[in-house]
Every structure is written in structure tokens, then in C-alpha cells.
């Protein structure tokens, strides 16, 4: 029975494919195997293009699969520790060319967002979006594989450290197909596309106002307002989610 389940999962994994080719996306390695198990590692090493649902079925009964550590709904579980040599460096406002390989089409929708990995939160959504993607009812469209995005100018320091952020492609083919493809590019960002780094935010500076009596002057601090984080995500897409508006799972 376990063999038949593994075969079924394999067939589901290979039935449709998609992954970032350039820049190179996260690849499986020792950290991935330690978290997601040898079955998932061997499958992704052999064909990195498979879908999340197929992986979930494959690892369901594997003793070396740690669901929390693996996190298949973020970058399909791929780990930064296996990809420290594949980090891209961008500037705010830079236009970035991407090449996403569609190995086998399945009708659905897709979007590209920036995800903060520590919290699995989308901090820049719909940098590219398709309400209809990889339709089987028509020939392939070049703009679905080769396209560009613009690095937002309001990320601040959120993506200044390697591993903190990824550019994630999310392609979902709803039921009856019910397959989701994720692919992530590690990157850092700082400065601007013009090559001039933005000035750092000023530290709170006390302002001095005249006091009364013999006490002299009094000091009033200048308070910097807090920054609001992005939308937190981290679950499989629900049937009630609005199609194509953002990444419904995670990322």
C-alpha cells in the first residue's frame, strides 16, 4: 500500500511543472532533506518542478518529515541554508527580468510577490499577476514565461539581509486539478535604482523648549511612528478566496 501511495504521489508530482530558471530559484539540499525528509528530497532532486499537494501526499507517512520545519507552503519547503550562493542583489526601483519555465500547462491563475520568510508574510503583493495562467485551451503565451517585475521602493530595510525575503511565484490550478506550484528567488535590496543609497531614517532627536522658573529648559522627545508589517499568510488556498487578488496560501 505504501508503494502504491508513493507511485500515486509521484504521478501527481510529475503531471505538471513550473519553476524559475533565471535567476536561479531555491534548490533542494541537506537542510531541505533534514526538514522535509528523504522522499521529498529525492523527488525534488530528480524533478524540482512538482506541486505542493503531491509533496504533501508523498511525505504524509514518512517518519523523517517534520511538517513545521519543512513548511511546504513557503517556497515548497526549499531552504535558504541550501542556497546561500544563489542570492541576488537588487536596488529599490530596479526592473528585474525573470524566466519561469512552464513544463506542462494547467489552467489556473498566478502572481509574483515578495514574502518575508521569518513570518511568511507578503510584504509586496502582485508585482505580476495573471487572472488566467497556463491555459490548456490555447497555445502557450511567451509573456507567461518571460516577464519583469519592479522592486518596490518602500521595502525599507526588511530585505537588506540575505534569507529575509524571497521573490515567490505562486501558480494555482484549482480543482479538479488542485495543484499549486511555488518557486522562490533569494535576494537582498538596498539603495535605489539610480545608485544613490537613501539616507538612513533619523534617530529620535530631543527638541529643547524654554522651561519656567529656575529649572531652565525642558526636553521633549520627537517620536518616530511605528512601521506596519505586511499581510500574514501561511495556509493552503481556500475555495472562498478571490481568484488572483493575492497569494492565498502563503506565498
Q: What is the DSSP string of 21-58?
A: EETTPP---HHHHHHH-HHHHHHHHH-TT--HHHHHHH
- Greater pLDDT, 80 or 1: 80
- pLDDT confidence of residue 192: 53
Rounded to the nearest 5°, which phi and psi values hold at 220?
-115, 120
pLDDT, tens only, 38-69: 999 999 999 999 999 999 999 999 999 999 99
- CA-nearest of 85, 81, 70 to 23 is 85
11 — pLDDT class (breaks 50, 70, 90): very low
pLDDT, tens only, 139-175: 989 999 999 999 999 999 999 999 999 999 999 999 9
Q: How far apart are CA 75 and CA 27, in angstroms?
A: 10
Query: Strand 179-192 relative to strand 88-92: parallel, antiparallel, unpaired?
Result: parallel
103 — pLDDT class (breaks 50, 70, 90): confident
What is the DSSP-derived secondary structure letter of residue 223?
P
The set of cell numbers assigned to 22 is 533565471
- Greater pLDDT, 146 or 11: 146
- pLDDT confidence of residue 142: 95
The set of cell numbers assigned to 121 is 508574510
- pLDDT confidence of residue 211: 42
> How does the average pLDDT of the chain come out, rounded?
80
Cut 0.85: pTM above it: no
Q: Cα 139 vs. chain centroid, distance in angstroms? A: 28
What is the SS3 assignment for 82?
helix
Q: How far apart are CA 19 and CA 50, in angstroms?
A: 9
- pLDDT confidence of residue 231: 46
Q: Are 69 and 59 in contact (CB under 8 A)?
A: no
Q: Which residues contact 78 (CB under 8 A, 6 or more apart)?
A: 25, 26, 27, 28, 32, 44, 184
The set of cell numbers assigned to 241 is 478566496
Lookup result for grid cell 520627537 = 222
Of the listed ranges 12-16, 45-49, 89-93, 232-236, the one predicted with least confidence: 12-16
The set of cell numbers assigned to 93 is 526601483
pLDDT, tens only, 205-236: 444 444 444 444 443 333 334 444 444 444 45
CB count within 10 Å of CB 64 equals: 14
Q: Are 124 and 251 in contact (CB under 8 A)?
A: no
How many helices (H) and strands (E) are present in the chain, helices listed first? 5, 11
Count how many residues are written for the chain: 251
pLDDT, tens only, 105-138: 999 999 999 999 999 999 999 999 999 999 999 9
Lookup result for grid cell 536561479 = 24
Q: Which residues contact 230 (CB under 8 A, 6 or more apart)?
A: 116, 121, 122, 123, 124, 125
Write down the domain spans for the chain.
Answer: 2-194
- pLDDT confidence of residue 161: 98
Question: Which fold is adopted by the domain 2-194?
Answer: Immunoglobulin-like (2.60.40)
Average pLDDT in the 73-77 region?
98
- pLDDT confidence of residue 237: 54
* Alpha carbon separation from 240 to 147, 171, 174, 230 (Å, rounded): 29, 17, 12, 21
Amino acid at each position: 500500500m505504501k508503494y502504491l501511495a508513493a507511485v500515486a504521489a509521484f504521478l501527481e508530482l510529475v503531471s505538471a511543472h513550473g519553476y524559475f530558471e533565471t535567476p536561479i530559484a531555491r534548490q533542494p539540499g541537506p537542510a531541505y532533506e533534514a526538514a522535509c525528509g528523504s522522499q521529498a528530497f529525492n523527488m525534488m532532486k530528480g524533478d524540482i518542478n512538482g506541486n505542493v499537494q503531491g509533496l504533501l501526499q508523498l511525505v504524509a507517512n514518512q517518519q523523517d518529515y517534520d511538517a513545521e520545519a519543512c513548511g511546504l507552503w513557503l517556497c515548497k519547503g526549499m531552504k535558504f541554508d541550501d542556497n546561500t550562493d544563489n542570492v541576488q542583489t537588487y536596488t529599490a526601483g530596479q526592473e528585474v527580468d525573470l524566466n519561469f519555465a512552464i513544463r506542462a500547462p494547467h489552467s489556473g491563475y498566478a502572481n509574483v510577490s515578495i514574502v518575508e520568510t521569518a513570518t511568511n508574510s507578503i510584504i509586496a503583493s502582485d508585482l505580476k499577476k495573471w487572472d488566467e495562467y497556463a491555459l490548456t485551451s490555447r497555445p502557450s503565451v511567451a509573456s507567461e514565461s518571460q516577464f519583469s517585475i519592479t522592486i518596490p521602493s518602500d521595502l525599507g530595510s526588511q530585505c537588506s539581509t540575505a534569507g529575509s525575503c524571497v521573490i515567490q511565484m505562486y501558480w494555482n490550478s484549482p480543482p479538479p486539478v488542485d495543484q499549486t506550484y511555488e518557486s522562490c528567488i533569494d535576494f537582498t535590496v538596498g539603495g535605489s535604482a539610480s545608485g544613490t543609497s537613501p539616507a538612513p531614517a533619523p534617530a529620535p532627536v530631543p527638541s529643547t523648549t524654554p522651561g519656567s522658573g529656575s529649572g531652565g529648559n525642558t526636553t521633549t522627545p520627537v517620536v518616530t511612528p511605528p512601521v506596519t508589517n505586511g499581510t500574514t499568510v501561511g495556509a493552503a488556498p481556500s475555495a472562498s478566496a478571490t481568484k488572483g487578488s493575492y497569494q492565498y496560501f502563503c506565498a
